[in-house]
Amino acid sequence: MSFPKNFLWGGATAANQYEGGYLEGGKGLSTSDVLTAGSHTQMRQITWKNEATGETGKTPMAFMGGDIKIPEGAIPAVIDGEYYPSHIATDFYHHYKEDIALFAEQGYKCFRLSINWGRLYPNGDESEPNENGVKFYHDVFDECAKYGIEPLVTISHYETPINLTINYGGWIDRKLIGFYENFCRTLFTEYKGKVKYWMTFNEINVIEMGPFMGGGLLKGDKQNVAQAAFHQLVASSRVVQMAKEIDPSMMIGMMVGYGVGYAGTCNPKDQLALLEGNHMSHFFTDVQVRGYYPNYKLKEYEREGVTLDIKDGDLEDLRKGTVSFIAFSYYSTNVVTLDESFDHGDGNFSFGAKNPYLKTNAWGWSIDPAGLRIALNTLYDRYQIPLWVVENGIGYADVVEADGSIHDDYRIDYMKKHIEAMDDAINLDGVDLMGYTPWGCIDLVSAGTGEMKKRYGMIYVDRDDVGNGSLKRSKKDSFYWYKKVIASNGEDL
């Protein structure tokens, strides 16, 4: 085992699932604040209200295309009698000192968090930021600095100020580029010297699968999603250039949910299906790293009648605003096949078949450390820029023993094997890997299901699926294990 001397070990979170304090300090509502809890089998819902008639209701968050069916005259809103997991989440807002101290105790070199856009710009379209929100993140970054922990900041992670959805239709409106630039200018000028590593959008490719989560969109048809994605890509490229002007030492990366696929059989049709799946996996990285749309995407748009509204300077911005590193999430792999004898598979990016060689967790996500080595090699071979595994982990319904201990040996086993895979990628394959921030290093709300019981943390938080619990933090076995891993720079697994 040997990891680079400056390898950035840490953990990852996101405001919409962790921060809570949903209306405190002047924060505005965001898209995640109108989402109810769901489960493995029941999709999360968006609640809505018709202000004129007082009528309320909820409608499923559309996935893989399709519109969100909110009745005419109604808007997404918080309604009485519903439980919203993001509102308190696991309350980083009031626990940040305690939590950062726990991360420091584990020896974190870096801590991934996201900025809640609505905390700085409650409606998203103001010209001046909310000072309370600006101060909150100063306090957080100062706390990190006390322990020498480097923040890794996701600028936008699944929450768009709800006003931007209601009054602009989300990222379909070009004006969001300007609002986002304004937001980023505040971030880069305020936190210059405190934050070096930034990522422009969490899993930017999620807009194609979950348009409401990824882009604040209510209309999920292909044309709308393609245009909204184009706006995000232009916005990202512009703020990369902005950051370089404000502070050339900042490193701005892109973040993708990386789907590694396997062809189910050696039938050439399966291989071709995999090729197309790989196009989907690489589209956003291709644009953000190379600086232009790949031909396969342009051809796909041409075939499907999708046209992009491109303004002067946009293509030049894409070329100039390429990223310095690729950050990605990796949980599991998926199988692409036309062979109907395969069972159906599950996972965050797995819509294909079940892999008979792999075990899964209770949510059907396969456990495949080799897939991480494949992901690292594929991305590095293709782009030759530094990589960062900023999400990885296993969701599990942990059990608290009578004495308060939590024996999560399955999590230790999962992490150990994935760290070994990273080690192989670095030392056998020569991949340039900057760091590792396992997901939900402290328990937080599941994005996909809104559950609490789908836990990823090495720190347990006492909170359940309906909002009960003291929010007390306690250490799982994996807490101590990961501390040892970091102290030995990955030698002692």
HSE value, Cβ hemisphere, 13 Å, CA-based, for 365: 21
Q: Which of 143, 150, 391, 451 is catalytic?
A: 391
Of 123-131, 185-193, 228-236, 439-447, the segment contacting ligand BG6 by CB under 6 A is 439-447
Nearer to ligand BG6, 39 or 241 (CB): 39
CB of 451 to ligand BG6, least distance (A): 8
Residues 377-396: x where in contact with ligand BG6 by CB under 6 A, - otherwise, as a string: --------------x---x-
Given a contact cutoff of 8 angstroms between Cβ atoms, the answer to whether 207 and 228 are in contact is: yes
Q: Exactly one of 19, 159, 203, 208 binds ligand BG6 (CB under 6 A); which one?
A: 203
What one-character-per-residue DSSP string does 130-147 give? -HHHHHHHHHHHHHHHHT
- Rounded Cα distance between 77 and 116, Å, is 18
Q: Exactly one of 447, 452, 459, 485 binds ligand BG6 (CB under 6 A); which one?
A: 447
- Rounded Cα distance between 246 and 198, Å, is 13
Q: Which residue is nearest to ligand BG6 (CB)?
A: 448
The reply to whether 200 sits near ligand BG6 by the rule CB under 6 A is no
Nearer to ligand BG6, 374 or 452 (CB): 452
Q: Which helix (H) or strand (E) holds 484?
A: helix 477-487
Interface with ligand BG6: number of residues (CB under 6 A): 16
Q: Exactly one of 436, 439, 460, 481 binds ligand BG6 (CB under 6 A); which one?
A: 439
CB of 119 to ligand BG6, least distance (A): 17
Nearer to ligand BG6, 288 or 449 (CB): 449
Of 144-152, 370-378, 409-417, 448-456, the segment contacting ligand BG6 by CB under 6 A is 448-456
- Rounded Cα distance between 270 and 121, Å, is 47
Closest CA to 83 of 355, 397, 466: 466
The reply to whether 366 sits near ligand BG6 by the rule CB under 6 A is no
The reply to whether 264 sits near ligand BG6 by the rule CB under 6 A is no
The reply to whether 334 sits near ligand BG6 by the rule CB under 6 A is no
Given a contact cutoff of 8 angstroms between Cβ atoms, the answer to whether 111 and 442 are in contact is: no
Q: Is 55 a catalytic residue?
A: no
Q: Which of 143, 203, 208, 451 is catalytic?
A: 203
- Rounded Cα distance between 65 and 87, Å, is 27
Of 137-145, 239-247, 352-360, 440-448, the segment contacting ligand BG6 by CB under 6 A is 440-448
* β-strand partners of 308: none
CB of 356 to ligand BG6, least distance (A): 23
Residues in the chain: 493
Q: Which residues within the stretch 284-323 sit at the binding site for ligand BG6 (CB under 6 A)?
A: none
The 8-class DSSP code of residue 2 comes to -
Tell me the three state secondary structure of residue 475: strand
The CA-based dihedral angle spanning residues 159, 165, 167, 171, taken in that order and rounded to the nearest 10 degrees = 90
Nearer to ligand BG6, 160 or 329 (CB): 329
Reading the block at residue 141, the tokens are: 């970054």
Reading the block at residue 10, the tokens are: 């840490």
Of 20-28, 85-93, 371-379, 444-452, the segment contacting ligand BG6 by CB under 6 A is 444-452
Q: Exactly one of 448, 455, 463, 479 binds ligand BG6 (CB under 6 A); which one?
A: 448
Residue with tokens 């999400």: 391
Find the largest Cα–Cα distance for the chain: 65
Nearer to ligand BG6, 264 or 448 (CB): 448
Residues 125-164: x where in contact with ligand BG6 by CB under 6 A, - otherwise, as a string: ---------------------------------x------
What one-character-per-residue DSSP string does 206-271 give? GGGT-HHHHH--S--SHHHHHHHHHHHHHHHHHHHHHHHHH-TT-EEEEEEE--EEEESSS-HHHH
- Rounded Cα distance between 42 and 59, Å, is 12
The single-letter code of the amino acid at 255 is: M
CB of 446 to ligand BG6, least distance (A): 4
Parallel, antiparallel or unpaired: strands 433-436 and 387-391: parallel
Nearer to ligand BG6, 322 or 348 (CB): 348
Of 246-254, 415-423, 441-449, 471-479, the segment contacting ligand BG6 by CB under 6 A is 441-449
- Rounded Cα distance between 80 and 56, Å, is 9
The reply to whether 348 sits near ligand BG6 by the rule CB under 6 A is yes
Q: Exactly one of 201, 446, 459, 465 binds ligand BG6 (CB under 6 A); which one?
A: 446
Of 92-100, 233-241, 273-281, 442-450, the segment contacting ligand BG6 by CB under 6 A is 442-450
Helix 268-285 × helix 369-383 angle, to 10°: 60
HSE value, Cβ hemisphere, 13 Å, CA-based, for 186: 24
The 8-class DSSP code of residue 116 comes to -
Nearer to ligand BG6, 213 or 335 (CB): 213
The reply to whether 202 sits near ligand BG6 by the rule CB under 6 A is yes
Q: Is 203 a catalytic residue?
A: yes
Interface residues with ligand BG6 (CB under 6 A)? 14, 17, 158, 202-203, 257, 329, 348, 391, 395, 439, 446-449, 454
Q: Which amino acids are annotated catalytic?
A: 203, 391
